[in-house]
Each structure stands twice: as C-alpha cells, then as structure tokens.
Amino acid sequence: MSRDQLLTAPDTALPTLRGAVAGLPSYVPGRRSAGTDIAALASNESHFEPLPAATAAVAAAAGTMNRYPDSAAVELRERIARHLGVTAGEVAVGPGSVGVLQQIITGLCDAGDEVIFAWRSFEAYPILVELAGARPVRIPLDDAEGHDLEAMAAAVNDRTRVILLCTPNNPTGVPISHERIEAFLQAVPSSVLVVIDEAYVEYADAGSGPDSLALYRRYPNVCILRTFSKAYGLAGLRVGYAVAAPAIAEGLRRTALPFSVSALAQKAAIASLDAGGEMEARISLLKEECARMAAELEAQGWRLQPSQGNFLWIRADAELLATLVDAFNGVGIMVRAYQGDGVRITVADPASNNRVLRLLAAHAA
C-alpha cells in the first residue's frame, strides 16, 4: 500500500494522544520580523547581556560538549547551598524552574490529585498539572490583584497534594507578605507541599515578600523555587532550582531526566552566583526604570497595582485589550496579552520603555 492509501484505509487508526495532551494549548511562537526595532517585552527576560563571567565560563566549557554533564550537578548544588545557607542535600536543580516544577508535580501527584494555585498566575501551572494527570484548582485573585489565601486554604481537601504560591505574582507583580504566608502555612496540613515560586525575587523590595528561607526552616512542607532565567540573564541556558526538605529534594533529583542541565548551564550559573555585586547594579537600574514607568503611567491616568517584578500589568477588558494589542503590534513592541484579563509588559532598557510610555499615553483613560 502507498502511504496515502495507508492513511485513508478505514481500518488504520492512528496512535492517539492522551486526552490531557490533546486538550493543551498549542505553543504560539512570538512574531518574528525583519525589522531591527522590535522590542521583546513579552517574556520578562533580562535585556542585559549575560554577566561577562558567565559568558567566559560558557566559552571555556564549550570544548567539553562531547561529554555528558555531571548529572548530580554537585558543584552547582553546593554553590547554591552556600549562597542560601542550606545544604546541597536540600537543593535540586532542573532545566529552568519550570523543569523543576514539573518534577515536583509528577513526583507528588497521582492521577486525580489536586494542585491549587491562584489565577491569573504563571501560565505554565495548569499545563504542567494537566500533563501529570492531576487536577488544576484555580482560585481567583483578590481585588488588589494578589493571592486570596483564605480562599486557597478553604479549597484544600483530601486530594490536595501541592499548592503553588507565586510571589511576586506573574503577571500582576503583586507580592504575598511574610505574615500572610505564615498564617496560611499554619492553616494548611503539613502533608501538603507549599511551593513558593520566587522567579522575580531579586527584583522585589526587601520586606515586600516573604523571607522564604525562614519559612522553609520553620515549615518543612515549604519548597522554594528559583531561577537563573530572569535577573541572572540566563533564560536561554535553562537552569533553575528548588530548595526542599532533604527527602523531597532527593525525590526531585530522582524524577529528573538524566543530564537535563547542561555543563554549560551549570558553569554559567556558578559564575553568575560568584559575580553577585555586578548583578546588584543591574537590578538597581532596572528597578529605577520600573519606578519611573509606574510614576509616568500614573501621571498619564493609568491606575496600576505597584509591581515588585521586572514587568508591569495593565488590567484590560476585551475592548481595551484588543486596542492595546493592535497598537503594540503596530509599532513592533512585543508584549504578553491574556484574553479576558490584561496585558503584561516587561520593563527593559530606557529607550524601549520610552516607546511603551509614548504608546500608552495615547490610550490613557
């Protein structure tokens, strides 16, 4: 039979995807343009190039690509442990913190188990939960764009295995205070893993969010999730980590795909941690830009919640969202639009930020 005959023959059923997979949204690639004045403000990446020490470490390790990396990432885990004042046994690394989060969910959830998170929050959450055959439980944000922890605690039941807290929250930028998370931890059974996703923690004002390490020491069901993708500027290398009780961290290391964090990523992450002071200077610049934009937008008449991340959030009804998306597309500024909710704009270099300010001035209320 020819290939065409085979494909149309009535008794040849093609392999089918699991229902959970068939229901997932397709990846929509970002618009590519030949123009040079595209502003990439849709993914919250750092606009700064990687730290010179990280680039040098990658270049120096490039000749080792014929070898597998250290699958246990011992040196990196020890360096992270020293950075945070924990032991390497409490650290698990993965290909981005999304990779680690997938290990967390598949490591803890059986089919039908429940994972609670705020909505709207990070768009990867429902995808990873559904892929694992678990059930996503979305709890709407409160009126101030923050987590409704009372409603989240009330949603816990026998099937709840994991709760995801995102602080500052992507995409709204609103942090969760230390006191509120502590009260939440007292209300939630210690058998439920409470993941504190701190992808943007480096940008947050001291004291605006939780002292997550203190919470972790006090409540062993806390798991801290961090990444090198944002402030450290290594989004393209894929490396993130979790800090968790030794038995959990060990379980995460066991669920990892072998060799999923490359040697280049491990070296770059170590070099970036070693170069701490240099990153602080970049973060200060970025935070100044965030503050400048927030003040100008306020003066234009926009009413925004203060963001503790490297991004701004504009809540928008369908009509305003369509208008803004058209306007941003028209001038080559890529931003993230969330149907029914609003638009998230990464804060970057002053020239790009000024383009955003000029555009939004024309649409202010």
Ligand X SMILES: *Cc1c(COP(=O)(O)O)cnc(C)c1O
Interaction site with ligand X (CB under 6 A): 44, 96-98, 122, 166, 170, 197, 199, 227, 229-230, 235, 240
For ligand X, the closer of residues 123 and 298 by Cβ is 123
CA distance from start to end of the chain: 65
In this structure, the dihedral spanned by the alpha carbons of residues 266, 217, 149 and 129, taken in order and rounded to 10 degrees, is 40
To ligand X, the closest distance from the beta carbon of 290 in angstroms equals 16
Angle at 217 between CA 272 and CA 128, to 5 degrees: 65
**284 phi, psi to nearest 5 deg:** -60, -45
For ligand X, the closer of residues 199 and 333 by Cβ is 199
Encoding tokens for residue 273?
A: 């941690």
For ligand X, the closer of residues 29 and 364 by Cβ is 29
CA 318 to chain centre: 25
To ligand X, the closest distance from the beta carbon of 74 in angstroms equals 21
For ligand X, the closer of residues 170 and 307 by Cβ is 170
To ligand X, the closest distance from the beta carbon of 103 in angstroms equals 12
For ligand X, the closer of residues 97 and 353 by Cβ is 97
To ligand X, the closest distance from the beta carbon of 125 in angstroms equals 8
To ligand X, the closest distance from the beta carbon of 19 in angstroms equals 26
Contacts of 47 (CB under 8 A, 6+ apart): 40, 346, 348, 349, 352
Q: How far is it, in rounded angstroms, from Cα 204 to Cα 287?
A: 9
To ligand X, the closest distance from the beta carbon of 151 in angstroms equals 20
DSSP 314-352: EE--HHHHHHHHHHHHHTTEE-EEETTTEEEEE---HHH
For ligand X, the closer of residues 16 and 117 by Cβ is 117
